[in-house]
Structure 1
Amino acid sequence: MARRDFYDDPTAPKPNSLVPATTVVVPDDERRVLLIRRSDNGLWALPGGTMDVGESLPGTAVREVKEETGLDVEVVGIVGTFTDPRHVIAYDDGEVRQQFAICYEARIVGGTLMADGSEAKDARFFTVAELDGLNIHPSMLLRVTHYLGHPGEPHLG
C-alpha cells in the first residue's frame, strides 16, 4: 500500500485515524544507527510499525525489527514519544493517520542483517555524518538526532 508523509503541510489531508505504533533506534557497537529504506515511499526510516491486538508496544518493536531487518533485538530504553499532530500519514486506501509513536532503543541479540523486500528495500547502519543529505522524513531525523544528542533524555512530543 502506498504511503505519503506530510509534515506541517497546510495541504495535508485531515486525519481520520490514530493507530499506536513504534519506531526503534538500533545502534551498533560504533553508535551507528540502523535505518531501513521503506518499500512504500522510498524514504529512509527507523524500523517500526503498528501494534497488533494482543501484543505490547515493546513486543511490536521487537517484531517489527525482526520482520524488516532480520535482526533479533531486546528493548533497553525509550527514546521518546512522537505524537505531533502536524505529522500526517496518508495511505492510498483512504486512511489518513495522525502520528502516534513511541520510539524505543534496542540492542542486537542475534539474527542477520537483511532487508525483507516487502517493507524494506534496504537496511544498513549510518553514522551521524551520513545522515546529512539522506532522503529521510523530518520526523525520523528528529528521532535519530534526539537519540544521538540527548542520551537518556526521552523526547516528549
Structure 2
Amino acid sequence: MFAYDDGEVRQEFSVCLLGRPLGGELRVSDESHEVAWFSPAETDGLPMVSNIRKRLADWRSGKIPVVR
C-alpha cells in the first residue's frame, strides 16, 4: 500500500490480459503514447514491473489462469 501525505491510501495491483487482434488498427489515445502487439518471445526484452513479468512467465509455462 501507498499512503500519501494528504491521507490518500492506494493499493497497487497488476492485471495482465491475453488477447488477439480481430480487426481494426492500433492507435494511441489520451492515456497512451505508443501501442503495439508482441509475440511471447518479444516480451522478454520489454521493460516491465516484476508482477507482470511473473504473469507472463506463468502463462508461457502453462500455469494459467493465475490469480494472486
| TM-score, L = length of structure 2 | 0.58
Structure 1 gaps, min length 5 = 1-11, 15-89
Instruction: Choose 1 or 2 for highest CA Rg.
Output: 2
1:120 aligns with 2:35: no
Percent identical pairs in the alignment equals: 22
Q: Where is the strand percentage greater, Structure 1 or Structure 2?
A: 1
Partners of 2:20 and 2:28 in 1: CA distance? 18
SS in 1 for 2:27: coil
Structure 2 gaps, min length 5 = none
For CA contacts below 8 A with separation 6 or more, give which structure has more relative contact order: 1
Equivalent of 1:110 in 9, 16, 23: 23
Aligned residues: 65
Partners of 1:100 and 1:128 in 2: CA distance? 18
TM-align CA RMSD: 3.0
Do the aligned partners of residues 131 and 109 (structure 1) sit closer, same or farther apart at CA in structure 2, a change above 3 Å counting?
closer
User: What CA deviation, in whole Å up to 9, does each residue of 1:25-72 have, x standing for no partner?
Assistant: xxxxxxxxxxxxxxxxxxxxxxxxxxxxxxxxxxxxxxxxxxxxxxxx
